Amino acid sequence: MTATIERLAHIAQERGIDFVLTGGNAVILSGFARNTIDIGLMICTEHRSRWLDAMRDIGCRLFNGTPSFRTLATALAALFLLAATAAAEPLRIGIHEKPPYATQNPNGSWTGIGVTVWDAICKVNGFEYTLVPTPYESLLTDISSGKLDAAIGELEVTADSVDDVDFTQPYIVSSLGIALPERTLGEAWRDAVAEFFNWEILRIVIGILTALVIVSVLVWLAERRHHTGHFRGGIHGFGSAFWFSAVTMTTVGYGDKTPSTFLGRTIAIAWMLAGVLLVSAFTATVASSMSASRLTGSISGVAGVHQLLCGVLRSSEAEKTLNDIGIRTVPFEDLRIALAELGTGRLEAVVADRNTLLYYQHHKNDGDPRLRIRVADFTLRDSLIAIPIRKGQGYYEKINQSLLEFTGTPEWQAAVRNWIGATDVPF
């Protein structure tokens, strides 16, 4: 019997679970072992699931040898008592607040599309569960260690996480979405006009006017004494030279004023070439300030995102992705704060989970008039949102089957429309 106790203690120690040899303050396995020794196993609530795993190992290891009748009885009794105790315990489900997957109401209850899915699964299978608020960064770790049985939230299936936990089938597809300020057409044109009068454009305009004046003076000096009348006279002749320089620079070339001397024509040819460059620079600068994306709030590719200063959640997938492709980011602890900064103009875009952004757009940012956004059609990358479950659970297949059945129902489609207002989200 001593060998049995030592094996139990060794396996429990490997699993990091308390193993107590005492007759008090524990579950006593007496029965057939009464005349030999009392074995007490302290079963901590947060370790129940790991005790079940340990008892599976115990069964395998003990039955591989030649156990005595008492040894077998002790192991079976322990397995029976532990299984019965664990079955009576509701599943511990970690949850973190992240609309639209999970959000806590003022009365303490939880709602969201993730909660809706999990509640439907539990109703079909008769599971009891308790929601345990848990920091996002601890959810997968606590599932892997056995503190939690599963979790609900913005939990993406990634190559790194599948080694530690099992994931259900994805119940919804998301992506990295881009939120832009919601503006009326009048506001868009007002902002465009304001951007037109910025220093960069003003500097080019001043440079063009200065060059026009210089060229006009040179043409006037070269032509005022040698032409029949186009550039003669004082201010009138200079005005004609200025007109000639302007139409030459813009390649209009009316031909009503033309130089006739060799020097005047040489100046005109040089000015034609320089004018093409100046007009091109001016056109490119204006197009950048008054592009269609700025007027309509649309983005058609990664190049459009590269021009923007983007707000992201600190330590999020959005921050990592944008930093990897060289896009300027400003990290925030709270997404609502980032959206507020977007409304004030301090940010040009906010990049986050697209379903979350659609939720704020659909619900008008929970009634806050300062936070008006429009979610761009362009996305950076897709992600699969699923429910992580502790590895090795016998109910894994049941959960998957129930999930697939529920996500094909009109009830689920109505829930998605209610939370994010979109009918084109894959699920």
Residue-wise pLDDT for 199-243, tens only, equals 777 888 888 899 999 998 998 888 877 755 677 767 778 888 888
- Give exposure, 152-176, as e/b (b: 16+ Cβ within 10 Å): bbbbbbeeebeeebbbbebbbebbb
Q: What CATH number labels 179-183+297-382?
A: 3.40.190.10
Q: How far apart are CA 121 and CA 123, in angstroms?
A: 6
Length of the chain counted residue by residue = 427
Query: Does the pLDDT value for residue 115 go beyond 50?
Result: yes
Radius of gyration of the chain (CA): 37
Give the start-to-end residue ranges of the domains of the chain. Answer: 2-88, 91-171+386-420, 179-183+297-382, 191-289
Query: What are the phi and psi torsion angles at 154 (to 5°)?
Result: -80, 75
Query: Which residues on neighbouring strands pair with residue 311, listed in sequence order?
Result: 330, 350
Query: Which residues on neighbouring strands pair with residue 374, listed in sequence order?
Result: 180
User: What CATH class has 191-289?
Assistant: mainly alpha
Domain 91-171+386-420 has CATH 3.30.70.2610: no
Query: Which residues on neighbouring strands pair with residue 177, listed in sequence order?
Result: 352
222: enclosing H helix or E strand:
helix 199-223
Higher pLDDT, 63 or 390: 390
Q: Which DSSP string corresponds to 58-108?
A: HHHHHHTS---HHHHHHHHHHHHHHHHHHHHSPEEEEE--BTTTBEE-TTS
What is the average per-residue pLDDT within 254-274?
84
Q: What is the 3-state secondary structure (H, E, C) of 154-187?
A: CCECCCCHHHCCEECCCCEEEEEEEEEECCCHHH
Quick one: tokens of 185? 């057409």
Asked if residues 298 and 377 have their Cβ atoms less than 8 Å apart, the reply is yes
Residue 307 gets which letter from DSSP? T
Same fold? 91-171+386-420, 191-289: no
pTM of the predicted protein model: 0.58
What is the average per-residue pLDDT within 390-410?
92
352: enclosing H helix or E strand:
strand 349-353
